[in-house]
Amino acid sequence: MDEAEFRAAVAHAVELYERAIRHAAGRTRNRIETHGEVEALSRLMVSPDLQQGFKVLRDSGQLDQTFEAVVVRFRHFFRDDVVQAAQWRLHNPHSLL
C-alpha cells in the first residue's frame, strides 16, 4: 500500500465523520494540514483522550473506517507504539467512553 492510498484512506475517514456530524471537521482538518497525516494520526493514537470521530464512527457501525483502522492497515508508516495503541482501541471500542 502506497502513500496515495494512505492519504485517500485518511481523507475518506474524515469525510465519513463529517457526513455523520453534518458539518466540517475543522480541527481535524487543521491538525492534518499542520502536522501531516502520519504525525496527526500518531498524536491522536497516543493521546489519552478518545476522539469524537472514533466515537461517531464506532457508534454508526463504521469502526473499520476510523483513523485507528487506517493506522493498522498502513502500519508501515507508523511507530510500533502508535500501531499498538490503535489496535488496542479497535479491540476495546466499547471500553472507551
Residue 51 lies in a domain: yes
39 within some domain:
yes
pLDDT in tens, 27-49: 999 999 999 999 999 999 999 88
State the residue range of the domain holding 34. Answer: 3-91
Instruction: Determine, yes or no, domain membership for 33.
Output: yes
Give one DSSP letter per residue of 20-85, joined into a string. HHTS--HHHHHHHHHH-HHHHHHHHHHSSSPPHHHHHHHHTT-GGGSHHHHHHHTGGGS-HHHHHH
pLDDT value for 95:
80
Question: Would you say the C-alpha torsion 89, 92, 95, 97 has a positive or negative sign?
Answer: positive
Tell me if 97 is assigned to some domain.
no
CA–CA gap between residue 94 and residue 40 (Å, rounded): 23
More confident residue, 95 or 19: 19
Nearest to 21 by CA among 50, 59, 47, 49: 59
Confidence (pTM): 0.93
Q: How many domains does the chain have?
A: 1
